[in-house]
Amino acid sequence: MADPLTALTPCFEEALRKAFGDDHTGVDPLLRFSDRADVQADVALGLAKKLGKNPREIANAIVASLNANLTTTAICDRIEVAGPGFVNLTLSNNWIAQELSSAASDPRFGIPLATKPETVVVDYSGPNVAKEMHVGHIRSTVLGDALVRVLAFLGHNVIRQNHLGDWGTPFGMLIEHLVDLGTGKANDVSVRDLDTFYKEARAKFDGSALFADRSRERVVLLQRGDLATLDLWQRLVGASKHYFGEVYKKLDVTLGEHDFAGESMYNAMLPGMVAELQSKGLIRESEGALCAFPTGFKGKNGEPLPLIVQKKDGGFGYAATDLAALRERVCTRKATRILYVIGAPQQQHLAMVFAVAKDAGWLTPPARAEHVAFGSILGPDKKMFKTRTGGSVKLIELIDEAIGRASALVDEKNPQLDERTRDQVARQVGIGAIKYADLSSDRIKDYVFDWSRMLAFDGNTAPYLQYAHARIRSIFRKAGIEPSHMQKACISLHEPAERALGLELLGLGAAARQVADTLQPHRLCTYLYELATAFTTFYEQCPVLKAKGEATMSSRLALAALTAQSLECGLSWLGIEAPERM
Ligand code: ARG
């Protein structure tokens, strides 16, 4: 167990039990890394309130109990009370070194699997058929994929759900446009053209009453399951899926063909779902439509806000599909945690869907749904990110531009690289830059899309972390050793910079758990940035290849190897590759 917080938590629980009896074993000791000591706990403050006692007195009792515990004293050099009643712990150098050595020889870096593994559905990406993925979908795709990777590493059973927009009224006009073009077309309409395709269909729909009527009739045929119509629809869906698959591959995200769970998949479940809501008295007619009115949702004038479950014409919409999907995820797939990685503007929609699902008894503990909301990507003018001509920026073009820009940078930094390596590194750096820019800031905030910042080799960026990794790899090339050969080396910590780096290295697991708990990948980015910074300080202050004495050199090489491997692992959770050289 390489992580101090995990190692110390049972010690705290034991100490609390000894000092205060079984009544208080349920309190979360809330340990965290701190600048004041290595680890700090504020459990005494909460407990004092609960017991009506002086927090310092409580903290003293905890410290006495911790000091009487052999495991704790083996981990810590000093345990003391600070300030109003904090417990400060200073880890022993020996313990840190020993944990680092065992982390180094474990492919999981000693990070334990979740004690209660869950089935987690992650609903992300969710592009729409016959529409280009735009920058709005990039955030969902990149954030969702990072969450998936972290949760899977921690041992959860993750089910990816790509809620493809493949149903609804727009398909009437899309299919009619396909018919006009000659029905053979869909096969060769590369979806790059499908955006144009969508716009052309829309223009005809808005400009011609005849076309609009045909489109409406076509929707009816589609809903009725008319075979010829379904065939045309299938072509549009197939071409789009194929295209999205290419984008995912290019962007290096883990979504595949079998993760598509399009809206249409739920069609057959909708009547049963509505019947169940009806029998539970949760929906009623309002202006011809069947609506749910979950408590607590009010319109502008304080009137109850409807969630439309079935429209006046009998059709089902976005909300109905989401209700059916939620029911299926909990009741059939047995998910206990469902994450919706969707932009902040859909907050109310989701909150209402969750509320109805709770009222219906589908979403009951331990099952819970969470909206992983995110803000917008802004252009340099702080307005919505658009192309120079005001159009929406296409994801695929963004990726290509990132790779192009990265290629020029790599050329400049390292002109000696052969062409193949250069292209590969450019791809890794370009994609890393885009993803990291998205992941490294608090997701709920908007962020400004800025090529020069995201591709900078200094600051909290992907290229900085990738470069830190590559630099360590170059130390090993110079020494003619593989980093993996340092697994068994004995690590000892003497210099402050060695200790600081060692302590930082033990935080990888805590960073992963924090992402799993808070669903905020930027915390992992911050950790990796601090790790890279700690390495830089270490490397400035502690010669590695010129270290005095074989043992010191070997220990420092082992620290360097573990740093490179931790950076590589942390970046991989973000969906970012770490090149060996750049
Ligand atoms: N297709 C939707 C959109 O583009 C996103 C789907 C999100 N997932 C969901 N279960 N509603 O806005």
Q: What is the mean pLDDT of residues 476-496?
A: 94
Higher pLDDT, 533 or 31: 533
Q: What is the mean pLDDT of residues 164-189?
A: 83
CA-to-CA distance for 374 and 144, rounded, in angstroms?
11
Q: Residues 405, 451: contact at Cβ < 8 Å?
A: yes
Which atom of ligand 1 is the closest one to the Cα of 318?
11
Report CA(126)–ligand 1 centroid distance (Å): 5
Ligand 1 site, CB within 6 A = 123, 126, 128, 163, 165, 322, 325, 340, 342
What integer best gives the mean pLDDT of the chain? Answer: 93
CA-to-CA distance for 121 and 118, rounded, in angstroms?
10
* Residue 389: per-residue pLDDT: 76
Q: Please determine, for residue 185, whether its predicted confidence score (pLDDT) is greater than 60.
A: no
- Contacts of residue 460, defined as CB under 8 A and 6 or more positions apart, other chains included, come to 440, 525, 526, 529
pLDDT category at 556 given cuts 50, 70, 90 is very high
Report CA(454)–ligand 1 centroid distance (Å): 27
Token readout for 64 is 């006495």
Q: Please determine, for residue 144, whether its predicted confidence score (pLDDT) is greater than 80.
A: yes
Which atom of ligand 1 is the closest one to the Cα of 350?
11
Each residue of 188-219: pLDDT tens digit?
555 457 778 888 999 999 999 999 999 999 99
pLDDT category at 187 given cuts 50, 70, 90 is low
Stated as kind and residue range, the H or E segment containing 388 is none
- Under DSSP, the state recorded for 484 is G
Q: Residues 575, 563: contact at Cβ < 8 Å?
A: no
Q: Which of 140, 162, 163 to mutate to test ligand 1, by most ligand atoms within 8 A of the CB atom? A: 163
Report CA(190)–ligand 1 centroid distance (Å): 23
Which atom of ligand 1 is the closest one to the Cα of 137?
4
Token readout for 9 is 């938590």
Beta strands 31-33 and 39-41 are antiparallel
Bond from prior residue into 366 cis (ω within 30 degrees of 0): yes
* Residue 388: per-residue pLDDT: 75
CA-to-CA distance for 456 and 500, rounded, in angstroms?
26
Each residue of 261-281: pLDDT tens digit?
999 999 999 999 999 999 999
Q: Which of 137, 263, 342 to mutate to test ligand 1, by most ligand atoms within 8 A of the CB atom? A: 342
Report CA(260)–ligand 1 centroid distance (Å): 12
Backbone angles phi, psi at 520, to 5 degrees: -120, 90
pLDDT category at 24 given cuts 50, 70, 90 is low
Report CA(127)–ligand 1 centroid distance (Å): 7
Picking from 579, 571, 580, 540, the residue whose alpha carbon sits closest to that of residue 461 is 571
Picking from 283, 263, 264, the residue whose alpha carbon sits closest to that of residue 275 is 283
- Under DSSP, the state recorded for 223 is H
* Tokens 């219906």, located at residue: 360
Nearest residue CA, atom 7 of ligand 1? 126
- Exposure of 315 by Cβ count < 10 A (0-12 exposed, 13-18 middle, 19+ buried)? middle
What is the three-class DSSP state of 276?
Answer: helix
CA-to-CA distance for 124 and 575, rounded, in angstroms?
15
What is the three-class DSSP state of 88?
Answer: strand
CA-to-CA distance for 582 and 579, rounded, in angstroms?
7
Q: What is the mean pLDDT of residues 312-325?
A: 93
Task: Mean pLDDT check: name the lowest of 11-25, 476-490, 501-515.
Answer: 11-25
As beta bridge partners, residue 86 has: 82
DSSP 414-431: -TTS-HHHHHHHHHHHHH
Each residue of 448-473: pLDDT tens digit?
999 999 999 999 999 999 999 999 99
Q: Residues 44, 63: contact at Cβ < 8 Å?
A: no
pLDDT category at 181 given cuts 50, 70, 90 is confident
Q: Which of 128, 141, 372 to mutate to test ligand 1, by most ligand atoms within 8 A of the CB atom? A: 128
Nearest residue CA, atom 5 of ligand 1? 126
Q: Which of 137, 346, 350 to mutate to test ligand 1, by most ligand atoms within 8 A of the CB atom? A: 346
Nearest residue CA, atom 9 of ligand 1? 163
- Under DSSP, the state recorded for 123 is E
Report CA(164)–ligand 1 centroid distance (Å): 7
Report CA(341)–ligand 1 centroid distance (Å): 9
Nearest residue CA, atom 6 of ligand 1? 126
Q: Residues 139, 170: contact at Cβ < 8 Å?
A: no
Q: What is the mean pLDDT of residues 527-555?
A: 97
Q: What is the mean pLDDT of residues 481-497?
A: 93
Q: Which of 121, 122, 123 to mutate to test ligand 1, by most ligand atoms within 8 A of the CB atom? A: 123
pLDDT category at 392 given cuts 50, 70, 90 is confident
* Residue 431: per-residue pLDDT: 97
pLDDT category at 2 given cuts 50, 70, 90 is low
Q: Please determine, for residue 39, whether its predicted confidence score (pLDDT) is greater than 70.
A: yes
* Residue 176: per-residue pLDDT: 95
Report CA(340)–ligand 1 centroid distance (Å): 9
Q: Alpha helix (H) ranges present in 440-549?
A: 451-454, 462-479, 496-505, 508-518, 522-541
CA-to-CA distance for 459 and 167, rounded, in angstroms?
44
Nearest residue CA, atom 4 of ligand 1? 127
Measured in residues, the chain has a length of: 582
